[in-house]
Amino acid sequence: MPISSPSTPRHYVVVVHGIGEQKLNETIPPIVQRFAEVRQKKQNKYDIILPATQSSQSVRSEAEQHGWAEYRGIPIADKGEKPDEKFDGTHATETAGENFRFVELYWQDILQRHQELFASETEVWAKAMLNRLNDENITPPEWLPSWAVPMLESIVNTAVPLKQMLVLKYAPMVKTIFNGYLGDVHLYGDYARTRGEAVRHFHLELDKIIFNDFLDWRKRELDAARLNGGLFCPVPYQKPDITIVAHSLGGIMSFDALVYAFIKEEIRMASAESIRFFSSLPFPGYTTPLPGEEDIHEIKQQKIKSFVHEVEAWLNEEHTEKVQCSIQQYWEHFLDGFRDQNLMIQSTPETPPLFHGLTPAGIPPLLWRTQVKNFITLGAPIDKYLVMWHKNYLHLDLMIERYDKLRPSESQYDFPEPSNTIRHYNFCDEQDPVGHHLDLTRNKTRIYKKLFDITDPEGRDVVYRRYAVPGVAHLMYFKDKELFKNILGEIIDRKPGKEEDAEKFRNVKKANIQAIVWAYFRIPFLASLMTGIIIAFGINASFSGDTVKMILSFLIALFLWIIPAFLTYYKEKTSYHGVHQSRLTLFMMNIVNPGIFTRLIVAAVEWRRILLNQSEGESDNTNKNIHLAFQKKGDKLIWWPFAWRWSWRMVVTALLLYITTGMICCTDSFQNVVWLGMTGGLLCYVISMMIVLVQYISLKRKYAGNN
């Protein structure tokens, strides 16, 4: 069977991970499987790809870890029917180049390397950020959306005490969550070199894709000539299409990298100490070679030399009568379609090329810049970074009057016009605390409109209701087949969907109800149940005559809801401001602090409001497909179910307490233990419901101007 010439266009799907402790190629398997399910028209889900499966193809060597993997059965073109090849997790051979090529852009090593040296504790950076937002000299009040300060206050009031409680017994988990996850958030915003190195890494890896794709194109041409009889003159190389799928923190990093790719080259070449530009440019660390970079250049040189040797060996064989192109003609046309990059040089047009490497200033040549067709962000905090670290984004030309007055006459905002604009699609779920609309980015910066396609905003910037569990929603995107069905159909295949299907996709009724239940009922229910069990232990210990266990149980149950604030009093009294205040006043203000259960219940209600406020957005655009409305007055989803859900949950709580205490309390006073423990749990449930109502009413007043 004759081998075909290189197919066009090839299509690379570049996946960029977010915060976490990922291993190489750990993020990409579910995306490969969702693409396969859509193309194979499969009803159930695939679960066959492992990080090692992806790495078997993509990791070429220890120095080359960011190659592509191409699986059979995931064709680029959708012909409306199942493809001829079945998806089975094996790489494509006969149809190589006709299937999507998947690349994971791994950058966790940069975050981990900087985390050890430069990251601050959660309580330190969160409080510093809160002080910056509340200082009008640092953050213009008109730039702050209504959710910004409450969001950080909630982190300080809930996450920090939770960390302090868990650190003694669960130190590794605390380090992973608070340093590894939340630490990445602050590190990327506060340590500029993390951003600069990450953006350079992004640019270099996409350049490597284009270089290897070009070489793969020429190798396939040569193989086709060998198998089909004769060496043809090289046809002009055609670059592939690129779709970037970025999750979480990877979304803002990819956004920064795309913007930075289109700024003037003299900025990219400048050092971070340059006084010619505003403080947000150039990115520190961008011009500094990354670890192992020289090895990559050496590998590329070796690849070119090896290919040149292969071509000359073929032309020197005895069957030269089949060759339809002379050696001089071959090298003369070898770089057609690739000449403008200056990545390879020829001493004369008829001689083999030599690998040149980077630009003279040592910065990436950006071979890929005009090939990014789609930029898809999932749960990305782009707007959040523009709010909390807005001084990092002055180069976006923020629409703030204060900065308009300070703009220099010769500005770095003079971005060259790109030959094509990138289609940016932003998706997140209402219950995702990280993702957000692009209100500020799209409407209050002047540069975004120059680099990204802003047509059809109602289909490009979507916050939907699909996932039920608050927080966990941030991890659900890669499991959502319907989401990727829309990504492939409407974004990559460019096939418009039906309006009724869009509404069905964006608003899943059960997901909305479950979100309310989690915020207003389940968290108080679980807190009360645990308290009731602890009280039952204490009662059982009292009947058994174990006074120590009884006292400890009752104290633990109490401290979960309120804790003495003597340490807070001492801290306030010895502080700079507390020295001058009355001891009695400070003592009365710090008799007790809320315990972790109280804080969790308060935070659950407030985050429900924060998430609703974020999903509604700050834009004037009221299209229902973009902005989800607040719960309206008299909405039956809240007030009527509140009464009956409260009632039946009290019954369930009583039964669970009865069963649980019956299993752990085996004394002559069993009935007394059960009923007293159950009463304690129900009392805590009533208290938690009162906390919910008080918090709900206070937040309704707090956000009254935003309803």
- DSSP-derived secondary structure for 245-291: EEETHHHHHHHHHHHHHTS-HHHHHS-TT-SSS-TT-SPTTTTSPPT
| Alpha carbons 357 and 584: distance in angstroms, whole number | 71
Reported as a single tens digit per residue, the pLDDT across 623-658 is 444 444 444 444 454 555 556 666 776 677 667 666
- Does the pLDDT value for residue 36 go beyond 90? yes
Identify the burial level of 683 via C-beta atoms within 10 angstroms of its C-beta, where 0-12 means exposed, 13-18 middle and 19 or more buried.
middle
Handedness of CA 626, 389, 120, 605 (dihedral sign): negative
Helix (H) / strand (E) element for 534: namely: helix 523-544
Please name which of 218, 220, 231 lies closest in space to residue 4, comparing C-alpha atoms.
220
- Does the pLDDT value for residue 601 go beyond 80? yes
Q: How far is CA 572 from the centre of its chain?
A: 38
Q: What is the pTM of this model?
A: 0.87
Please name which of 220, 222, 224, 187 lies closest in space to residue 107, comparing C-alpha atoms.
187
Please give the full DSSP string across 48-78, using - where no structure is assigned: ---HHHHHHHH--SSS-----EEEEEEESS-
| Alpha carbons 64 and 117: distance in angstroms, whole number | 26
The angle formed by the CA atoms of residues 119, 120 and 125, to the nearest 5 degrees, is 125
| Alpha carbons 315 and 319: distance in angstroms, whole number | 8
| pLDDT at residue number 633 | 47
Average pLDDT, the chain: 80
In the chain, the percentage of residues whose pLDDT exceeds 70 is 77
| Alpha carbons 650 and 158: distance in angstroms, whole number | 26
Helix (H) / strand (E) element for 408: namely: none
| pLDDT at residue number 15 | 97
| Alpha carbons 451 and 416: distance in angstroms, whole number | 10
- Does the pLDDT value for residue 143 go beyond 80? yes
Mean pLDDT of 533-561: 83
The residues near 223 (Cβ < 8 Å, ≥ 6 apart) are 3
| pLDDT at residue number 373 | 94
**CA end-to-end span of the chain:** 67
In the block, which residue shows the tokens 């905090």?
Answer: 381
> Among 56-60, 253-257, 457-461, 474-478, whose mean pLDDT is lowest?
457-461
- Does the pLDDT value for residue 336 go beyond 50? yes
- Does the pLDDT value for residue 333 go beyond 90? no
| pLDDT at residue number 382 | 95
**Ramachandran category for residue 545: left, alpha or beta (phi over 0 → left; psi -120 to 50 → alpha):** left
Mean pLDDT of 405-415: 57
| pLDDT at residue number 630 | 46
| pLDDT at residue number 683 | 77
| pLDDT at residue number 625 | 43
Angle between helical axes of 182-190 and 192-228 (0-180°, round to 10): 100
Mean pLDDT of 10-30: 92
Mean pLDDT of 689-696: 78
| pLDDT at residue number 409 | 47
| pLDDT at residue number 415 | 74
Domain boundaries, the chain: 511-560+595-706
Please name which of 534, 526, 597, 589 lies closest in space to residue 561, comparing C-alpha atoms.
597
Reported as a single tens digit per residue, the pLDDT across 671-681 is 666 666 677 77
| pLDDT at residue number 622 | 47
Asked if residues 256 and 386 have their Cβ atoms less than 8 Å apart, the reply is no
The listed range with the strongest mean pLDDT (138-152, 241-255, 259-273, 617-631) is 241-255
Q: How far is CA 44 from the centre of its chain?
A: 26
Residue by residue, what is the 3-state secondary structure of 617-635? CCCCCCCCCCCCCCCCCCC
Handedness of CA 51, 56, 58, 60 (dihedral sign): positive
Place 539 in a pLDDT band, splitting at 50, 70 and 90. confident
> Among 127-131, 447-451, 531-535, whose mean pLDDT is lowest?
531-535
The residues near 597 (Cβ < 8 Å, ≥ 6 apart) are 527, 530, 531, 560, 561, 688
- Does the pLDDT value for residue 27 go beyond 90? yes
- Does the pLDDT value for residue 251 go beyond 90? yes
Reported as a single tens digit per residue, the pLDDT across 477-517 is 999 999 999 999 999 998 887 777 777 888 887 777 777 77
Mean pLDDT of 467-486: 89
| pLDDT at residue number 623 | 47
- Does the pLDDT value for residue 281 go beyond 70? yes
| pLDDT at residue number 516 | 78
Of residues 19 and 322, the one with the higher pLDDT is 19
HSE on the CB side for 16, CA within 13 Å? 31
Q: Which DSSP symbol is given to 430?
A: T
Dihedrals φ, ψ of 447, to 5°? -80, -35
Q: How many other CB atoms are there within 10 angstroms of residue 71's CB atom?
A: 24
Please name which of 153, 531, 146 lies closest in space to residue 161, comparing C-alpha atoms.
153
Place 257 in a pLDDT band, splitting at 50, 70 and 90. very high
Q: How far is CA 486 from the centre of its chain?
A: 19
Amino acid at 229: G
- Does the pLDDT value for residue 662 go beyond 60? no
Mean pLDDT of 610-630: 56
Place 405 in a pLDDT band, splitting at 50, 70 and 90. low
Per the structure block, which two tokens stand in for 341? 């990059």
